[in-house]
A and B are shown apart, each in its own frame.
Chain A
Amino acid sequence: MTAHPPSSPLGALLHAIGIQPRTPDELARALGSTPDALSGMLRTLRSGGYVQDATPQQDGCACGPCALKSMCRNADSAEPALHLLRLTPRGETYLRRLS
């Protein structure tokens, strides 16, 4: 990873996702922004094929009775409430070129 995060908005966002897959909330915290402000950028990046959902592992987990299920990105609910994002090769290429 680059030592200095890029100063361009999308570059900084891709950089943060590149460090580790994260949810929009976590990204907002990491970048000192708000999920609202980031939502548009994430949409752009996702539709442009720079980031994608990092789908959690599907093989069965004993989430049934778990009280933390709603917040857990591993929960085996049909529709994941969370979107964990990670870079696609296209996103990685762009990030590499920035540094």
Chain B
Amino acid sequence: MSAREGTTPAPAPRPHRLGAVRTVLASLALALALVATMMPVIASDTMALGLLAFPLLAAMVLAAVIVLAPYRLCLLRGPRAAGLLAAVSYAMAFVLISLIAAHPGQAGSGFWALVVVAWAIAWLSVEEMAGLKPRQPLWGRAIALAIPLTFGAWLLILWQVLVVGFAVPKVLLPPPSDIWVRLIASPEVLWADFRQTFLKGVLIGYALGCGAGFLVAILVDRVPFLRRGLLPIGNLVSALPIIGVAPIMVMWFGFDWPSKAAVVVIMTFFPMLVNTVTGLAAADRMQLDLMHTYAANYPQTLLKMRLPMAMPFVFNALKINSTLALIGAIVAEFFGTPIVGMGFRISTEVGRMNIDMVWASIAVAALAGSLFYGLVTLAERAVTFWHPSVRR
């Protein structure tokens, strides 16, 4: 519970104990590792190979037991435990992945048992990492990064192992390795799609939509009547499926990027309008009175106080819009494009059952989206460094 977290450790060094989760996981991993030595690792109709047929894997299992046993007995702990557990789990994952790549669809019960062992060790390493309280902030930052990365890496590892181990048809779900191969094999196509959709449609539409929303908000703010009339409508429109205007925009502006940019403009306009108007109203009475005592005129009040106060709201809109813009441009391409673009690629390759290409496109889109969002967040940190949610 959160109340406990802020406090310092108890006085007398209590005997080191593992929590319930860790005890269960460590015991389970140990038991499974031992049991797996007696189960077939690779099995098909014609053959069954045990652990001893794969010396590298056997060595890994040995290493796992050597780390797990003292860990379970509470002899191994702290940063060393976290590091050793992580190393063993990744090494096991690597060996398991290369093993199953050679025998797709022939995973035996021993194989799956070892997958569970490796996963349990990875979880334990994360438990240990999460419990570390390093003195140096740099280490703290590194751990805060390592934990989600481990989680993401294991998502990919399990995906790879499950898909290859069960020989899932590639048209249903390709393994990450195939997607990676596709990704590095077709950079020209992906780059052309990226340029068409992101650099043209998304960025231009985003700049126009956000800029227009911001300027209109400042105008609207000067006229209380308009503010009262437009704010409820803007709020309503923000909740509507605006994406539906895509076919109309395609009809009006043609198949090429201007129609995508137009969809993005419409989608990003209203969140920016609503947020900026709200932000401009965020200045409280006392601060307005202060500007009043200085006899500041409207532009001075706007520039020196109300716009800076509104910045957190503006950046909120910029962040929301960075996601909306990408969605808008991709979905708009479902309604018609020249033969290039991320949305076009996704919809046509799905039709051709080239699912690995689809995933490669999605990976590019995800990366672009995250980077875009990250850049906006960095800008936010720089501009609104004074705000409590950024300050530390």
Partners in one complex: no
Could you list which residues of chain A lie within 8 angstroms of chain B, going by C-beta atoms? Answer: none
